[in-house]
Amino acid sequence: MKNIIFSFALATLFLSCDTKIKNSETQVKEESGTEISGDPIPAVNGATENDEVIGSWIGYFEQDEDDSEKQKHLNVDENYAWNRENKINLSIDQINDGQVIGHSVVAGNNRPFKGLISDGQFSVKEPGDNKYDGEFNFEIEENKLVGTWKAFKKIDIPKRKYTLEKKTFAYDPDQMLEKAKAYVNWNKFIKDKSMEEIDEGVFEEWITATFSSATDKIYQINASNILLTKKEVENLKKGDLIIIRNTIYARHGYSFKDRPLRVFLDAQPWYIPINNDIKSDFTETEKENIKLLLRYEKNAKEFYDYFGRG
């Protein structure tokens, strides 16, 4: 299968090994739906029907191999690539007299759908008022939900496939990150070009690749089950602060919009995207830790690692 591979050059950089570059951007990015201020948002009521099909089906939303000309993946480094797949939660909430109601959660979007089931075949549609809405067609095979999705509108990847397993979300404040995938803030290498231009293949040239990464501290510090101190966070790298904070959100099932974060956290086997608004779910410990982490993240110095091909 032919993939369109986007390559990015490594320009020669004359920096010493211990070079510290202070981030001139003082703003920090909080994803919508994670802010700890404002009015609480009530949880969505789930389905009550006792049916083995009802519930959340979790797995990867992949590019459809039949749409080979659209196949795209992003190469950040020889050992680091993203095949444009995202973890999806396809939730079947109600089934009544052949009518199906549910919702999908993927890449920061939480979209309702409804449709029909006939002879074990499900056909359900999202509303169509969002650019990324489409139609799901699937069936349950050997305890797995298998199917395809097709977008209503013309988008970069109009067809997807998926094989999902039924899983139950449970918040666990003691859940630690597993070493499943490295965190690379590869948004950093985009210079004067939008991600959409890169996706469409307009921008295909060698450019400077500068990435902010995290350390093993992200596997040691838990900001959900203990109140952090200034001493524990004041010397952390910016990447560490970002991941420790966003792991709080992952434990609550937040569906991430930011691509580098999404790629990293999707790889966690325990992570299940449940919603794109979790503000009312944080514990008091988590709220205090989020404030502390954001304060240090805002002015953190970044230590850079350099990736690329010679």
Mean pLDDT of 203-208: 31
Q: Does 123 score more than 80 pLDDT?
A: yes
Mean pLDDT of 263-280: 95
For residue 109, the cross-strand partners are 106
Greater confidence, 78 or 31? 31
Contact 127/171 with Cβ under 8 angstroms? Answer: no
Residue 305 DSSP label = E
Least confident of 23-37, 47-61, 71-85, 188-202: 188-202
Phi and psi at residue 34, to the nearest 5°: -115, -5
Greater confidence, 74 or 19? 74
**From CA 209, how far away is CA 150, in angstroms rounded?**
34
Question: What is the pLDDT at residue 214?
Answer: 83
Q: State the pLDDT confidence band at 22, using cuts at 50, 70 and 90.
A: very low
Structure tokens, 170: 């449970």
Integer CA distances (angstroms), 61 to 5, 149, 151, in order: 20, 9, 13
| pTM reported for the whole predicted model | 0.74
Q: Which amino acid is at 149?
A: W
**From CA 56, how far away is CA 54, in angstroms rounded?**
7
- Cα radius of gyration rounded to whole Å, the chain: 21
Mean pLDDT of 77-84: 65
pLDDT in tens, 29-49: 677 777 765 544 343 343 333
Q: State the pLDDT confidence band at 83, using cuts at 50, 70 and 90.
A: confident
H or E segment to which residue 145 belongs: strand 144-151
Instruction: Tell me what percent of the residues of the chain surpass a pLDDT of 70.
Output: 68
pLDDT in tens, 216-268: 999 999 999 999 999 999 989 888 999 999 999 999 999 999 988 999 999 99
**From CA 59, how far away is CA 87, in angstroms rounded?**
5
In order of their start, the domains of the chain are 4-41+173-306 (no CATH), 55-167 (2.40.128)
Phi and psi at residue 282, to the nearest 5°: -70, 145
Q: Does 212 score more than 60 pLDDT?
A: no
Question: What is the pLDDT at residue 286?
Answer: 98
